[in-house]
A and B are shown apart, each in its own frame.
Chain A
Amino acid sequence: MTSTNTENEDWKAQLNIPQRDTRPQTEDVLGTKGNTFEDFGLKRELLMGIFEAGFEKPSPIQEESIPVAITGRDILARAKNGTGKTAAFVIPTLEQIKPKINKIQALIMVPTRELALQTSQVVRTLGKHCNISCMVTTGGTNLRDDILRLNDAVHVLVGTPGRILDLASRKIADLSNCSLFVMDEADKMLSRDFKTIIEQILIFLPKNHQSLLFSATFPLSVKEFMVKHLNKPYEINLMEELTLKGITQYYAFVEERQKLHCLNTLFSKLQINQAIIFCNSTNRVELLAKKITDLGYSCYYSHARMKQQERNKVFHEFRQGKVRTLVCSDLLTRGIDIQAVNVVINFDFPKTAETYLHRIGRSGRFGHLGLAINLINWNDRFNLYKIEQELGTEIAAIPATIDKSLYVAENSDNVPIPVPIEQQSFHNNNNANNNIVIPPQQQHFAQFNNGQLPPQHYPQQQQQQQQQQQGIPPQQFQPQFHAQQYQPQMQMQMQNQGNYPPEAGHQY
């Protein structure tokens, strides 16, 4: 930080900070030592990105991991679902990347493609001003395109292990300068099938790379991997219990053929902001989603047997809050962060405790309140006991009425929606593609990076330009949901975000 104090104040004043999310939060994210992001000595551009993403203070896991990770030490960390783990490794990652070196400097691996997208988006959001390009590579997308992408500068590579191994083993993705190796959902990544891939990928990394391993669950010890691949890892364990404080769990003991009926009752009784419903087979996912639309609720579904393009679409729209319910398999059990979700329903009960924990952790994100309802049939009951035992909690029967204060926030106007970030590379390439040089934009960026120009105008302008270029008239945003409180809130949110005109989303 070479700038003077006055400049310092300037840059903070000029940030485009979103409206504060005023919903109540639990100790899970508030129990910190009171550090601020500035305390970590992060670079200015990164701080700008952090604050503009709506972060105010580091969560406990961020507070613990960021300073240690910046020193270059290996980390093995566990913290509860939705307490800011992603940012806890993305921030030190961004801090350590040198934008001028056009090499892959960090590799972030996650178990599912959707999570890769999401993680990449967090990198891009937080690193908005860092001049860092972050690329996603997962299966299901066009491999040729990913190979082409790697011709250009990529600093952060986010992806799923299979694809990354393919790219790395052919030296298409050069990992020889990748000094940072990150695994989210590390327990899953070190589970049998993934582990063999991971260990092959590690061969391509430099010997002295730094490893960051994060997860909310570690059902098994990862000792073997630690001994083999980690160098004196700094262990962070912020969990004295497994379940989130903000989530209330219930079971509804039903017959199999009552499940739909029960679900319908829940829909009509609960005040659902957004809900995720889990089924245990892909077939049931599709069937249930159909049922829900028949009942008059907008609903998407997703599972691994769908085309990736469709999966991405579903994921994206649900995150944007366009659809109220999502029915899915365990594909989306881990890591998916949708702040507006306040109800998770296990239409089918899972097999393992970690799955259960991750599933219910889709609600109550970042210390907020949430509800988890498990439909249990006769055969599930032993599994219920087993998981209760492993988690050390007892799940209560669903009462006739559920107190709203348990899962509905008084003030949920400002639930953050992950808004796509257009990055420099995106604009540049986009311009190039259309063979239209738009100097103002470039200027924007130059100035923006210097902290001279308030960035508020930028996204809207971009939006307009894009629409003009493509000549697509704005779509009318139609009312979708039964719940009244939901709809206006969405619109408000979009206005607040600035780059989201209420009519539609981005039209590309």
Chain B
Amino acid sequence: MKPGNNKKKDTSPSAVSTQKKGLVNTKGSNGDQHSLFDESSEVAKQFRDRFDYLLTESIGNKAIVTTASGSKYSGILAACNLESIDGLDIVLKKPTLVSSLGSDIKAKKDLGETLLLKSDNVAELELKNINLGLDGKTGITTPVATPKTEKIAKGANQFRTDVDISNVRATKERELQRWTPDEGDFMATEKSQTLEEASSTWDQFSVNEKKFGIKSTYDEHFYTTRINRNDPNYQQKLKEAQKLADEIEKQGTSGNIHIAEDRGIIVDDSGMDEEDLYSGVDRRGDELLASLKSNAKPSTTVKSNKYVPPTLRNQPHHMDPAIISSSAIKVTGGNIISENKSSTKTTTTESVKKNTISNDTKDTTKPTKENVRPKAHLKNVDEEIKKQLKEIKRQSGRSDHSSKTKALPANKTSKEAQIEELKNFAQKFKVPYDVPKDMNDVLRKPSVSLKADPSLPPKPKSNSTTPGVANKNSTKVSNAANGAASLNKTDSKKSGSSSNNGPVRTSTHGRRRPAGSFFGSKKPQNNGANKDTFGKNFNFFLKSKEAHNEEKSMEPFLIEKPYFATPTWINTIEESHKSLFDDENTIMQESQAKLQMRHMNAMNGMGNVSPNMAGNGMNMMSYPMMNGPNGAGSPNPMMNGYNASGMGMYMPFQPQPMFYPSMGPMVPVMGGKDNNGNNNGASPPPQDMTAHMGPGGYMNVGAPYGYPVGGMAPFPGMMGHNGMMGGATNDHRHKGHYNHKNNNHRS
């Protein structure tokens, strides 16, 4: 694209900078040059900018200049001077004479490295193949990694992935040379064996010390700072720190394996090996593809003793949510483990290991009991699993993911493995979106804890007893996998509920949710209860009715309209009125308030009715159309403006809201009047009145119970409005005014 770069590298950068200076200058007022145009200054500026851009982009590219004498020179455009009076001074690098009309004296030989052409000598400048796109020109943009096959020559300034660098040659599959042991090698005859056949546990430190005299001299202070234990407040700080530490560690995992790891939570990561965790880069594409992939490969490499070559392992990453979640998130805690052990003998090798590891307490400085790894079982279990592979697959639905193993014999070909995978795929395939079942479980969980303690935020400690209880359940379950599963469930409940305390933690992808979620359905007795609670606690209508009944059972129950499907008329659009009419609103309010005050003063002693009545009267006069469009809120706009001041007068009633929830966006259960009111603006005043009075009349019923009626008996409806206004939001006032305004314009 840029021949200049090839021919002479150091010219173009400097040239660009010169040009930029030129650009800056021309952006000032350079009237002469552009007075040719019969255009407005703005258009002229655009021309100028485009021209600047063209020249900037052209620098470093080939240019052909025709001089006034008719000679054509071609070369690399190095710089231009836009400020030249007669047009454009041009600097060409590596100029060559293309054609000459003879009158030009300069011969080819005379052309040096650089050719300067004064503007009065330039007749034409021809630029070819200029790339005016933005690709790769800004510092930020980098190309997406290109697939191996279509390698493009990339600019030096662009980010290159590994494959871009490696200059992929086609490395063919080739015959590998077999390694042969030397003759007379003692090992060859004696014991050629796989690692697994020689398995036994050992303590590396004691063995190495005994055999080779190696002693450890590790001290963490080689690497980190030392705690100042002489601080006068050390004990206090220690306590605080411990408290914080406990809080953090009890938060649960929020689904991220690395967070879990650093919180000392043992996550069974059987779906991932340590290459996935610490070394390999996740190459998965979008989530859908990934989940499809994972569904296609449902089985896992259980940590069997057998070596599973990478081609047979799941590549590149484990994605099946079932696997990942079945690989229980375990909060460290002694009781869980001890209970768990009873069921482990029949579970997979994996969970055996899991359990032992979970002995690891978060306080690593404390020496914990030696982990007893029942390796003796490993082999048996492994073989057993292999035998029952197919049965298990069919039997136990989701939970079997954890117990399934893909420990194919190492000498099986990958083809067979692939066939196996395909078979599994056929059995297991699920549309990745088909999740509602899971979601039910996920949602059900919090509802359980909510029921237990609906008002308080869940506290981590309150749950500490649950594992033990649940463990009992687990031992009863005969299916080993289920045993582990139900255990997990309690754990996840714990972590799940406590994770609410966590700050900005988001659960990253749905795929690794707490393990228990999938096994909730294993307990049918729970199911019903959960469903009930869920239905009850999360039923908006039921809940708000409940709340209403508690507070004022005697009043009519109104429900907030959850949403509006707004009509398309302009004056009923509810958005943006605030920003548009804010000022006028306040002005109007003020003026109304003043008016109101005047009326109040005038009618002083007339009782509480008067202001409202006056308000109504006035309302009618000044804003005849006002009520129409308000529809449901029709009483509000009228009252609002006045109540702002009226409130001041009738203090006793103010703090007691009439309605709960607030009146604002309510759909009153009363009659169609209000709905009629929605007939934007067209509704005549009389209807307004009824619409307005409707609720008022209705309120008569309710109001007395809520209020000390006192001398106001004659106008309870009005009072009701007053109180109502207390609860109503300002928005409605604004809305009202907005509508007034609109209507006024129309009328």
Contacts and interface: CB of A to CB of B under 8 A. Distances in A.
A170 B508 contact: no
B196 A287 contact: yes
A165 B258 CA distance: 11
A163 B310 contact: no
A253 B181 CA distance: 11
Contact of A139 (B181, B262, B313): B262
Contacts of A10: none
A161 interface: yes
B275 A280 contact: yes
Contacts of A117: 223-224
B562 interface: no
A242 B169 CA distance: 13
Interface stretch (B197-205, B338-346, B428-436, B695-703): B197-205
B218 A316 contact: yes
A162 to B, nearest CB: 3
A349 B308 CA distance: 10
A317 interface: yes
Interface string A392-426: 11100110000000000000000000001111011
Given A221-B145, A290-B202, A380-B311, A261 B187 contact: yes
B211 to A, nearest CB: 6
B238 A298 contact: no
A421 to B, nearest CB: 7
Contact of A144 (B226, B242, B251, B310): B242
B181 A261 contact: yes
A76 interface: yes
A252 B225 contact: no
Contacts of A330: 273-275, 277-280
B165 A239 contact: yes
A105 to B, nearest CB: 15
Contacts of A430: 221, 226
A391 B224 CA distance: 37
B365 interface: yes
A481 B214 CA distance: 11
Nearest to B378: A283
Nearest to A479: B213
B224 A253 contact: no
A433 B410 CA distance: 56
Q: Pick from B178, B219, B249, B502 the residue with the most CB of A within 10 Å.
A: B219
B159 A222 contact: yes
B126 interface: no
A351 B504 contact: no
Contact of A334 (B213, B220, B279): B279
B227 A149 contact: yes
Q: Pick from A134, A200, A242, A376 the residue with the most CB of B within 10 Å.
A: A200
A490 to B, nearest CB: 12
B414 A162 contact: no
A253 B177 contact: yes
A35 interface: no
B163 interface: yes
Contact of A197 (B222, B259, B413): B259
A303 B278 CA distance: 11
Interface in A212-229: 217-223, 226-227
A44 to B, nearest CB: 24
Interface stretch (B355-363, B527-535, B564-572, B644-652): B355-363
Given A312-B220, A358-B279, A382-B414, A331 B309 contact: no
Interface string A113-155: 0000100110010000000011111111111110111011010
B278 A140 contact: no
Contacts of A353: 162
Nearest to B214: A322
A475 interface: yes
A165 B259 contact: yes
B622 to A, nearest CB: 51
Contacts, number: 440
A20 interface: no
A217 to B, nearest CB: 5
B305 interface: yes
B240 to A, nearest CB: 8
B167 interface: yes
Interface in A188-232: 188, 191-194, 196-197, 200, 203, 217-223, 226-227, 232
Given A120-B224, A226-B159, A380-B311, A352 B280 contact: yes
Q: Pick from B181, B217, B368 the residue with the most CB of A within 10 Å.
A: B217
A378 B262 CA distance: 37
B364 A223 contact: no
A70 interface: no
A191 B282 contact: yes
Contacts of A221: 142-145, 159, 161
A256 B410 contact: yes
Nearest to B410: A256
A289 interface: yes
Contact of B365 (A256, A309, A323, A383): A309
A134 B143 CA distance: 37
B415 to A, nearest CB: 11
B195 A284 contact: yes
A256 B279 contact: no
Nearest to A392: B166
Contacts of A290: 198, 200, 202, 207
B212 A303 contact: no
B171 A388 contact: yes
Contacts of A312: 218, 220
Interface in B139-192: 139-140, 142-145, 148, 157, 159-163, 165-174, 176-179, 181-182, 185, 187-188, 191-192
Interface stretch (A24-32, A442-450, A499-507): A499-507
A133 B262 contact: no
A461 B342 CA distance: 56
Given A117-B223, A135-B224, A265-B182, A348 B307 contact: yes
B33 interface: no
A232 B140 contact: yes
Given A287-B196, A504-B215, A227 B258 contact: no
Contacts of B360: 307
Contacts of B241: 144-145, 147-148
Contacts of B140: 226-227, 232
Given A239-B165, A317-B218, A350-B310, A300 B195 contact: no
Given A223-B142, A293-B208, A257 B194 contact: yes
Contacts of B251: 166
Given A162-B259, A261-B181, A142 B139 contact: no
A304 B364 contact: no
B159 to A, nearest CB: 6
A382 B173 contact: yes
B166 A242 contact: yes
A134 B208 contact: no
A379 interface: yes
B263 interface: yes
A252 B256 CA distance: 38
B315 interface: yes
A497 interface: no
A264 interface: yes
A305 B273 CA distance: 11
Nearest to A504: B217
A7 interface: no
Nearest to B186: A264
A313 B216 contact: yes
Contact of B256 (A197, A257, A316, A423): A197
9 contacts: A170-B247, A191-B281, A223-B143, A252-B179, A334-B279, A355-B275, A381-B173, A421-B222, A426-B225
Can you list the 4 inter-chain pairs with the closest CB atoms, starting with the nearest? A162-B262, A139-B262, A478-B213, A392-B166
Given A163-B262, A429-B227, 15 more contacts: A140-B261, A147-B245, A152-B225, A162-B256, A162-B261, A200-B506, A226-B142, A256-B194, A259-B195, A280-B307, A352-B280, A397-B179, A420-B219, A429-B225, A477-B213
